[in-house]
Amino acid sequence: MAHITSTHPWCPSLDTTRPGVARVRDAALGGKDNYAIDRELLAELEHAAPGFRDLVRAERAWHTRAVRYLAASGFDQFLDCGVGLPAPIDNTHEIAQRHDPEARVVYADADCIVVAHGRALLQDNDRVLVVQTDYTYPEELLPAAGALLDFSRPIAVLLTDTLHHVDDDAHPDKLMATYRDALAPGSAVAVSHWFDPEIGAGHDAARALETAWQTRCPGSGRYRTRTEIDALLDGLQLLPPGLVALDNWWPDGPALTTPAPTRALGLAAIATKP
């Protein structure tokens, strides 16, 4: 497996004085690669809106379903942006390569610890590339991904649990347009995003969660409206069922227990480039 390192090295996982996005996600999923500072923020998020962990878990479950759907639809190239720390099971390459052993997957993350974990796990898989680069620098990430992926053919780009950590001032709409323009027709973009329903208890929870994130991780944790999230998919064609709640996007079956209301504070969609 090839190694490519960013010209923008970034190692927040080495900083134990403030929470790290990847580590907070890991803690919410029950992982062990996190510190007390991350668990403290997770506790604050749970206090702000009980069930925040369920939102993270719903997003991870949707990611699994999305990759499975894309692989079954014939996609054999995947670009997983801001991948975070590896999950115990059902990482993107595992899902894709179960369907097609020849499938190629590029993981991109700027965090050096995330990259180290990924490379250690995937050193014997020559159809997987781990790129240490920030997905908000597509001018760097896309050429690096081209070492394994063929951009003249359709690619599935995965932006799961990422864009809500891009502040408005960083222009996530322009970021998405750059990815869209680099893709061949027939490519797909899968997006999940934290959601502010603008009314009722859901709105209050979204605002409380965003405040908690912004206080501890400035510029991160944006809860956007449906209109704002939909605008990020401009120029792409939504596949059924459209931009919907995480649990409503091709669920595996009925919920066995009543889901926490906080799970509804996330929307997801897959859209294709005409």
User: What is the rounded average pLDDT of the residues 174-200?
Assistant: 97
Tokens of 188: 């797909």
Q: What's the pTM value of the predicted model, to 2 decimals?
A: 0.92
Q: How far apart are CA 128 and CA 104, in angstroms?
A: 6
- Domain definitions of the chain by residue range: 3-12+51-272
Question: Do residues 117 and 86 lie in contact, with contact meaning Cβ atoms separated by under 8 Å?
Answer: yes
Q: How far apart are CA 68 and CA 95, in angstroms?
A: 6
* Res 12: pLDDT: 52
Least confident of 39-43, 100-104, 112-116, 151-155: 112-116
Is 3-12+51-272 CATH 3.90.470.20?
Answer: no
Query: Over 90: is that where the pLDDT of 122 sits?
Result: no
pLDDT in tens, 87-117: 777 899 999 999 999 999 999 988 777 777 6
